[in-house]
Amino acid sequence: MPMNIENADSKPYWEGARAGRLLLQHCKDCGHVQFPPRHICVTCWSDHLDWTESSGRGTIESFTIVHRAPLPEFRSQVPYVVATVLLEEGPRMVTNVVGPGALDVAIDNSVSVVFEPDHAGRVLPQFQRQA
């Protein structure tokens, strides 16, 4: 049974992912854009938050290639890339790099979001390298 990862703070984010849109929280008071979703702004503590669509573009800040699956569900996917992506809007996301050339990823590579189901059928934002 898949674990429920949605809550009141993150529900719009997951709805956006299912629709192929990367949504980020935006503070209406100070302008800060944040990820992951929270009930208050991490900069000014305001609860006046709304949602804005990300460009879906970013750069690789850090990565590792996983060769040994941490759980049986991931065995068929190794090797795979886990990376920290700095989004154009400012927040960072820990995510996977997928698609052609994923295992050749390097720091400062340009990436863009794609949406793929995980082993439990949830739609997750992941990233592909750009040419």
For residue 3, pLDDT beyond 70: no
The 3 state secondary structure assigned to the chain is CCCCCCCCCCHHHHHHHHCCCCEEEEECCCCCEECCCCCCCCCCCCCCEEEEECCCEEEEEEEEEECCCCCHHHHHHCCEEEEEEEECCCCEEEEEECCCCHHHCCCCCEEEEEEEECCCCCEEEEEEECC
For residue 1, pLDDT beyond 60: no
The string of pLDDT tens digits covering residues 21-78 is: 999 999 999 999 999 999 999 999 999 999 999 999 999 999 999 999 998 988 999 9
Q: Between vectors from CA 73 to CA 128 and to CA 38, what angle results, nearest 5°? A: 60
Query: Which of 27-36, 108-117, 119-128 comes out lowest in average pLDDT?
Result: 119-128
Of the pLDDT bands very low, low, confident and very high (cuts 50, 70, 90), residue 6 is confident
CATH number corresponding to 11-129: 2.40.50.840
Percentage of the chain exceeding pLDDT 90: 85
Q: What is the pTM of this model?
A: 0.90
- pLDDT for res 43: 98
Mean pLDDT score, 9-16: 95
- pLDDT for res 4: 60
Q: Where are the domains of the chain?
A: 11-129
Gap between the Cα atoms of 74 and 121, Å rounded: 13
For residue 118, pLDDT beyond 90: no
